[in-house]
C-alpha cells in the first residue's frame, strides 16, 4: 500500500496547525492592540514618532545598528537589564504597535537602546558619540561614523550646530564639524526611544 499521500497529509496538517498556533493566533491576540489613552491627560501611549525620527529610523536600519543593539528590555529575572538601568519595566507588544519594522535586534554587542532617549537625553552627547564613541565612551568597540558629519571652513561665524570637539578630535584651525541631515535624523530617532510611560499590562 502506498503511504505517500498519508505521509504528505500528515506533514501538511502538522505544518498548518503549527502555523495557525504560532502565526494566526498571535496575530489575533496582538494585531488588535491599540494605543493606550490616559484618561486623566488624554495622552496616547506609545506616543507617535515624528517625521524626522522616522527618517532617522531608516538611517539606523541602513547602518545596520540592529546587528549590535537590541530594543527589547527584558523583565527582571530574565537577564540583568533592570540592573544595568536599561529600562524601568519590560517591553511589551503594545510598545511596538506603530512600527512597521520592529528593530528588536540580534545580539547585544552594545547596550539595549529601547530607552536610550531617556538615559541620554542630550543631542550633543549623541552627536559626539556617533562622530567618535571614544569621545563619550573611551574603550568602546563601537565604530565611529564621521561620514555622517561635514568638516567645513568657518565662514561668518561658527555654526550653532557645530560639534564641540577638542584635543585629537578637533578639526583643523578655521574649520568646524557639523551634522548632516542623516546625522540629525538619526539622533532624533535615538531620542525618541523611550518607555517613560505606563501601560496597563506593563506598569513601571
Over residues 158-193, the pLDDT tens digits come to 999 999 999 999 999 999 999 999 999 999 999 999
Mean pLDDT of 153-162: 94
Q: Is 65 exposed, middle or buried (0-12, 13-18, 19+ CB in 10 A)?
A: buried
Which tops the pLDDT comparison, 163 or 30? 163
Q: What's the pTM value of the predicted model, to 2 decimals?
A: 0.85
Per-residue model confidence (pLDDT) at position 78: 87
What does the angle CA 131 – CA 134 – CA 136 come to, to the nearest 5 degrees?
80
Per-residue model confidence (pLDDT) at position 29: 59
What's the sign of the alpha-carbon dihedral 177, 181, 183, 189?
positive
Q: Minimal CA–CA distance to 116: which of 203, 10, 192, 42?
A: 192
Per-residue model confidence (pLDDT) at position 147: 98
Q: Minimal CA–CA distance to 114: which of 92, 137, 129?
A: 92
Per-residue model confidence (pLDDT) at position 79: 87
pLDDT tens digits, one per residue of 61-103? 999 999 999 999 999 888 899 999 999 999 999 999 888 899 9
Per-residue model confidence (pLDDT) at position 7: 76
* 36-145+181-192 CATH fold: Cytochrome Bc1 Complex; Chain D, domain 2 (1.10.760)
Amino acid at each position: 500500500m502506498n503511504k505517500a499521500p498519508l505521509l504528505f497529509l500528515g506533514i501538511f496538517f502538522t505544518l498548518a496547525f503549527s502555523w495557525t498556533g504560532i502565526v494566526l493566533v498571535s496575530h489575533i491576540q496582538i494585531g488588535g492592540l491599540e494605543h493606550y489613552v490616559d484618561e486623566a491627560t488624554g495622552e496616547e501611549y506609545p506616543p507617535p514618532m515624528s517625521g524626522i525620527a522616522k527618517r532617522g529610523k531608516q538611517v539606523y536600519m541602513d547602518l545596520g545598528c540592529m546587528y549590535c543593539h537590541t530594543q527589547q528590555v527584558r523583565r527582571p529575572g530574565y537577564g540583568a537589564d533592570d540592573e544595568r538601568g536599561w529600562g524601568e519595566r519590560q517591553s511589551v507588544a503594545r510598545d511596538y504597535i506603530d512600527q512597521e519594522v520592529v528593530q528588536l535586534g540580534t545580539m547585544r554587542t552594545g547596550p539595549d537602546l529601547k530607552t536610550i532617549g531617556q538615559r541620554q537625553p542630550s543631542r550633543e552627547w549623541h552627536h559626539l558619540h556617533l562622530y567618535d564613541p571614544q569621545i563619550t565612551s573611551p574603550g568602546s568597540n563601537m565604530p565611529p561614523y564621521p561620514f555622517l558629519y561635514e568638516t567645513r571652513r568657518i565662514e561668518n561665524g561658527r555654526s550653532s550646530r557645530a560639534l564641540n570637539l577638542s584635543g585629537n578630535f578637533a578639526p583643523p584651525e578655521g574649520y568646524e564639524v557639523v551634522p548632516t541631515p542623516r546625522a540629525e535624523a538619526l539622533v532624533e530617532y535615538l531620542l525618541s526611544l523611550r518607555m517613560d510611560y505606563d501601560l496597563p499590562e506593563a506598569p513601571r
